[in-house]
Amino acid sequence: MVVAAVVVVALGVIGGSAYLYLREWRPDLGDGERYGVDVSNHQGVVDWRAVAEDGISFAYVKASEGEDWVDSRFADNWAGAAAAGVPRGAYHFLSLCSDGRAQARHFLATAPPDPAALPPALDLELGGNCAARPDVEAVRREVDAFLAEVEAAWRRPVVLYVGDDWDERYPVTQDRPRWTRHLLRRPDGDWHIWQLHNFAGVSGIDGHVDLNVLRP
């Protein structure tokens, strides 16, 4: 029993050390690449000046979801990032229970076009979405409607964050910049943003946050 207890403690220490290492780990950057975070109300109050001083050079801020929900921290995060000199972009979480055009108009009312901002992004995931699962063609029409409305207003392509669960059920073929989730290893292929994990430690943010790399 004593030996077993010692083994359990040792494994706990090793696991804790590995977690702390990975929490602070950042991959080497290629030419022109930079580190960034994506935040929402889940991160609480963010000290954006501390974030900037920790080597974070861009941020995506959750603005809206569906056709009527606004992230409670969006306005503060949007203004705070700008005041700290952190280039920022806004993103919308697409609901499968709402009309794509209505969602686009809600997003645009929350995050109006801003020439100084990064391109807007659309978050496509089944996790955290509503219970509806329309057929593939219906979903494609709603995504296309959202993209058409937002891109006409922003005059730039929307960046697509596509979860693996979404891509398996609703394959995304749109020719848009891709935001790829690939844990701890640099992804192959063509990507614009790489989300490398969701448990990073960044100064100015309590708890965990998503860490990303942006290509030029």
**What is the CATH architecture of 30-214?**
Alpha-Beta Barrel (3.20)
Counting residues of the chain whose pLDDT is more than 90, the rounded percentage is 87
Could you report the per-residue pLDDT of 118-136, keeping only the tens digit for each?
999 999 999 999 999 999 9
* 204 contacts 51 by C-beta, under 8 angstroms: yes
Could you report the per-residue pLDDT of 133-152, keeping only the tens digit for each?
999 999 999 999 999 999 99
The DSSP letter of residue 183 is S
Question: What mean pLDDT do residues 96-123 have?
Answer: 98
pTM for this prediction:
0.90
Collapsed DSSP state (helix, strand, coil) of residue 185: coil
d(CA 100, CA 198): 28
Per the DSSP assignment, residues forming a β-bridge with 166 are none
**Measured between alpha carbons, how far is residue 12 from residues 17, 184, 208 in Å?**
8, 21, 20
Better pLDDT: 12 or 70: 70
